[in-house]
Structure 1
Amino acid sequence: MGRSGNPAKRALHDSALARATAKEPASVLKATFYCDESGYTGANWADADQPVFVQGGWLIMHRERREILDEVVTLKERFSLRAEELKWVRVARRRDSSAVYRAFFELMLRHGALPFFFVMDKDFLLAAKTVETFFDPAYNHHFTDGFTGASEEKKQLVEMLLPAREILDEFASLHHGGVVPPRERVRDLAEMIADWFELGGAPWIAETQRHYSDDQLDDLRSEFGATNSMRSTTGHSLPGLMQLLENFLRPRAIALGILHDNLTRFDDVIEFVRRLLRPSRPRDSMPVGSGSFYFSMPTVTGFDLVDSKSEPFVQLADLLCGFVRTVFTKIRNGEELEDDELAICADIAMVHHEYHCWDANMPEAMWESFAAQGWAELRRRFGS
Structure 2
Amino acid sequence: MNYDIYCDESGNTGTNFLDENQPLYVISGWMVERNSSYRVKDKVISLRKENFPQVNELKGARLLKTSNGKRFCANFMKEMGQLGCTPFFIVAEKRYCLAAKIVDAFFDSEYNDRISTTLSWNNHIRKIIAEIIYNISEESIEKFAEVHKSPSIANIKDTQIQLIKEFRKYGYDQLAYAVEGSGNHLDKILEEETYTESGMEKKALKTLNLPVFVSFIQLIELFSRNINFNKVRMVHDEIAQFKKVFPEIFQIYSKSKSKETLILSSGTEMVFSTLKLKHFEMGDSMKHPLIQAGDILSSTINNYLTKVNNNEVIEPELRDIGEFIVGSILVNNEFIGRGFCDFVWSTELKKKLFNEVGISTSLDLPTKQIELDIEEFLIKK
- Summarize deviations over 1:57-111 as a string: whole Å, max 9, x none: 1111112222223322332244235310110122012222321112210111112
- Which residue of 256, 276, 279 corresponds with 2:232? 256
CA contact (8 A) 2:13 2:19 kept: yes
Q: CA RMSD in A?
A: 2.1
Name the SS of the counterpart of 1:37 in structure 2: strand
* TM alignment of 1:23-102, pairs within 5 A: 29-102=1-74
* TM alignment of 1:1-384, pairs within 5 A: 29-162=1-134, 163-177=136-150, 180-182=151-153, 184-214=154-184, 216-225=185-194, 226-227=196-197, 228-251=203-226, 252-266=228-242, 267-278=244-255, 280-355=257-332, 356-374=339-357, 376=359
Match of 1:24 in 2: none
CA contact (8 A) 1:258 1:300 kept: yes
For residues 271 and 285 of structure 1, the distance between their equivalents in structure 2, rounded to whole angstroms, comes to 22
- Summarize deviations over 1:241-290 as a string: whole Å, max 9, x none: 11111221112123101111113333345322221124643534343511
Aligned residue pairs total 345
Q: Percent same amino acid among aligned pairs?
A: 23
Letter of the 2:287 counterpart = S
Q: Normalised by the size of structure 1, how large is the TM-score?
A: 0.84
Give the drift of 1:135: 0.8
Name the SS of the counterpart of 2:88 in structure 1: strand
CA contact (8 A) 1:53 1:233 kept: yes
Letter of the 1:49 counterpart = N
Give unpaired runs (5+ residues) of structure 2: 198-202, 333-338, 361-381
For residues 235 and 358 of structure 2, the distance between their equivalents in structure 1, rounded to whole angstroms, comes to 32
Letter of the 1:365 counterpart = E
More displaced stretch, 133-142 vs 285-294: 285-294
For residues 50 and 347 of structure 2, the distance between their equivalents in structure 1, rounded to whole angstroms, comes to 39
Name the SS of the counterpart of 1:45 in structure 2: coil
Quickly say closer, same or farther: Cα 1:201–1:213, change in 2 above 3 A.
closer
CA contact (8 A) 2:231 2:278 kept: yes
For residues 109 and 223 of structure 1, the distance between their equivalents in structure 2, rounded to whole angstroms, comes to 43
Match of 1:4 in 2: none
Give the drift of 1:207: 1.0
Quickly say closer, same or farther: Cα 1:244–1:91, change in 2 above 3 A.
same
More displaced stretch, 132-141 vs 264-273: 264-273
CA contact (8 A) 2:67 2:317 kept: no
- Summarize deviations over 1:308-344 as a string: whole Å, max 9, x none: 1111111111111111110110111122323442323
